[in-house]
Amino acid sequence: MDPVTFALSDLHLSTLRAAADRIIPADDYPGAADAGAVEFILRLLNTDLRGEQLTYVHGLAGIEAESQAAYGRPFASLPAHQKDGLLANIEADRVQTDWIVSPLAFFPMLVEHVLESYYADPQNGGNRDGVSWKMIGFRAEGGTW
């Protein structure tokens, strides 16, 4: 029997993608989402981080609730400066809504997983096409990504 695959709702995926791209925004190189952060985190939530699935669901719902309370719009639709301000408030535990999980527990975990995805070995599902390795001038043995 195959195990059930954990998936996030479209809204949660959109929130995760937008938050990842504010944690590591695009510049001369792709941001975290285009480098595979969402897929990397979903893979982790289906394997090594199964115990954190509800933390992610509730944490992403918390980001959405904050966005709705502050701006009346989904987080992903906000301009960059509003996303940054909202994430800074969450990081500092200055939230307007009731969270099921602690923002002080969720946000650092989210940042850690986004960073892991961006700088991971591309064979692990993040760092698509070795984007961060190219950015820092690292060459994988054999020169492949």
Is 145 part of any domain?
A: no
Place of tokens 């940054």: 84
Mean pLDDT of 109-137: 91
- Asked if the model's pLDDT at residue 14 lies above 80, the reply is yes
pLDDT in tens, 35-52: 999 999 999 999 999 999
CA distance 96 to 85: 13
pLDDT in tens, 66-90: 999 999 999 999 999 999 999 999 9
Tokens of residue 21, six digits = 């791209």
* pLDDT value of residue 21: 98
Backbone phi, then psi, for 121, in 5-degree steps? -60, 125
Q: Which domain holds residue 41?
A: 10-140
Is 92 part of any domain?
A: yes
Is 1 part of any domain?
A: no
Is 3 part of any domain?
A: no
CA distance 72 to 70: 6
Mean pLDDT of 112-117: 96
What is the number of structural domains in the chain? 1
